[in-house]
Amino acid sequence: MYQVPDQQGKLAVVTGANSGTGKETARRLAAAGADVVLAVRTEAKGEQAKAEILAAHPGARAEVRRLDLADQSSVRAFTDGLIADGRPLDVLVNNAGVMNVPARTETVDGFELQLASNFLGPFTLTVRLLPLLLSAPAPRVATMSSGVATRARIDFDDLQSARRYSPTRAYAQSKLADLLLMTRLAGLAAERGWPLLSTGAHPGYTRTNLMTSGPNLNGGRPGLIEALAYRIVPSQGPEQGAEPLLYAAADPGATPGGYYGPRWAVVGPAKPVAVPRPGRDKAAAARLWREAEHLTGESLPAQATA
């Protein structure tokens, strides 16, 4: 099992920390000494996850704060709270997401749900927290993508899947968007001399409720191919599946723009993996960043542009 380096004195925010890879990431960062904010949509579930973490590690420090990435006002309220605290943020883990929502669903902001939860929410979260990140000595932003990003593309002409919606295509596009967010953030850090390390990860085929919660929304259910894949494709639990993300978030060997995944693509210990070609497209990354600024109304804060 991967041993997380000492995190004493660090503040970490982990989204989707009430279950799956998020809870495992929060648990192991807390066990290594970090003060961890469990950023969750349902506070009761977050409190249960916190109780489990503290039961396993009585000396750990963790707190629960509400964050719904599909709601831009919730993201702003969450970031406002951290900014008011004023404490430098050492690690931001963009883990939460939703997968394969069967019917096109719009958020309160009018965004397609998968794009909103998996990309636009994390974009706003990251941009608004940049001043706190850049006030830390060696900050990191680790963003969870997916193996499906390899065969995805960004449809700039129909980014919200309004003309044609496919659950799997929309999910793949959103996870490629996460990779491009990681790539663009790493580029900005290099251009502007920020000490920030932007990294990415994918969990392979990890058994979490992500596989069922999205497909079951609005009375849906997993398709035949998905249902068969759940039974026959090699898979692993969150303990192993979180390790690429933990490496991206905490290991001293992680590199700017580095991408980490299971050794055998779908299962296995974490190792550096190649960023898929669509995720290396710097022009697409810059264009997507501009589009996200337009959609969310958020841009680099003054503290990050000086």
List active site positions. Answer: 171
Distance from C-alpha of 235 to C-alpha of 119, rounded to nearest angstrom: 25
- Tally of CA atoms within 13 A in the half-sphere of 30 that contains its CB: 28
Distance from C-alpha of 257 to C-alpha of 247, rounded to nearest angstrom: 13
Residue whose pair of structure tokens reads 């499906």 in the numeric block: 148
Local structure of 78: helix, strand or coil: helix
Residue count of the chain, please give it: 306
- Tally of CA atoms within 13 A in the half-sphere of 199 that contains its CB: 30
Distance from C-alpha of 10 to C-alpha of 92, rounded to nearest angstrom: 11
